Amino acid sequence: MFDSHAHLNDEQFESDLAEVIVRAKEWGVERIINVGFDIPSSQKAVELAEIYPQMYAVIGIHPHEAKLWDESADETLRTLATHKKVVAIGETGLDYYYDHSPREQQQTIFRQHFLLAQKLNLPLVIHSRDATADTLAIVREFTDVSCLLHCFSGSVETAKQYLEMGDYLSFAGPITFKNASRLQEVVRAVPLDRILIETDCPYLAPVPKRGKRNEPANVRYVAEKLAELRDVNLDTLLAATRENTIRFFKF
Ligand code: NI
C-alpha cells in the first residue's frame, strides 16, 4: 500500500513519529508521500524524505496560506523542488469553504504553483473545496501538467471533466463515512487506473477510527472500502492504486 497524501510533517506527529512509522510498516504501507502546506512544512517533508527511504515529498503552499506567498517563498520552493525526492508540487488549489486567504490571491498562487510544476516537469497535487468552477478553469489553462485531485469531493460530472484531461483522483477517509452516498457514487464511476488512496493524516480518519488523529496505517480502511464499493478483491485494488501512484509521481 502507498499513502499518497500524508502530513507526517505536521506538528501533531512530533511526539510519536517513530511509533507512527512502525505501525505504518506493520500494516504494509510501503511508501508515504508527505505533503507541504507552507514553507516550514515543505522543508520538513524534504527532511523526512532524506531520513526515511520510504518517504517522498510534495512541496507547496496550501490555499489557506496563500497570503503567505511572496518572492522569498517562491525562491525557497524553487530550490527545494530540485531535491531528488520531491515528486510533485502542492498542495495548492482553491478553498472557498474556509476562505482563509482572499479568493483572488488563492487563484494567483494556484497559477504560480502550476508555473513551477510546468517549469520543473513535475505533477501537481490539488486541493479544491467549494470552488469547482474556478478550479476546473485554472486546471484547463495548464493541460500539459498532470494533476491529482486530492481527497476528491466533487460530483461524477466534475470527475469526468478531470478524467478527460488525463488527471487522477484520490480518495481518503470520507468515502467510509455514513453520509457518503454521493461520494461513493463517484468512487464507482472513476476508472480503476485513475484512482489513488490516501489518508490526509492527521485529518479525516476513516471509520472505524473516525474522530481520532489519523495516520498512514489507516490507509488500509480506505483501500478496503474502495474494494468493497467497486466489488473487486483487495489485492486487485491495491495493485491498481500502487501502479497509479507510481505512474502519477513518476517513481
Ligand atoms: Ni492535505
pLDDT tens-place string over residues 10-58: 999 999 999 999 999 999 999 999 999 999 999 999 999 999 999 999 9
pLDDT tens-place string over residues 186-227: 999 999 999 999 999 999 999 999 999 999 999 999 999 999
**Residue 142 CA, ligand 1 centroid: distance in Å:** 22
**What residues does 129 pair with on adjacent strands?**
95
pLDDT tens-place string over residues 145-169: 999 999 999 999 999 999 999 999 9
* Residue 76, pLDDT score: 96
Distance, in Å, from the CA atom of 177 to the CA atom of 205, rounded to the nearest integer, reads 10
**Strand blocks (E) in 60-103:** 86-95
Query: 126 phi and psi, to 5 degrees?
Result: -115, 135
Residues lining ion ligand 1 (Cβ < 5 A) are 200
**Residue 92 CA, ligand 1 centroid: distance in Å:** 9
**What residues does 57 pair with on adjacent strands?**
34, 86
The residues near 222 (Cβ < 8 Å, ≥ 6 apart) are: 171, 172, 173, 175, 176, 197, 198, 199, 206
**Residue 1 CA, ligand 1 centroid: distance in Å:** 18
**Residue 200 CA, ligand 1 centroid: distance in Å:** 5
The residues near 204 (Cβ < 8 Å, ≥ 6 apart) are: 151, 172, 173, 174, 214
**Residue 121 CA, ligand 1 centroid: distance in Å:** 22
Q: Say if pTM beats, i.e. exceeds, 0.75.
A: yes
**Residue 141 CA, ligand 1 centroid: distance in Å:** 23
Distance, in Å, from the CA atom of 30 to the CA atom of 17, rounded to the nearest integer, reads 16
pLDDT tens-place string over residues 60-98: 999 999 888 899 999 999 999 999 999 999 999 999 999
* Residue 68, pLDDT score: 86
Distance, in Å, from the CA atom of 234 to the CA atom of 225, rounded to the nearest integer, reads 9
pLDDT mean across residues, the chain? 97
**Residue 53 CA, ligand 1 centroid: distance in Å:** 21
**Residue 231 CA, ligand 1 centroid: distance in Å:** 28
* Residue 247, pLDDT score: 98
Distance, in Å, from the CA atom of 50 to the CA atom of 220, rounded to the nearest integer, reads 25
**Residue 62 CA, ligand 1 centroid: distance in Å:** 8
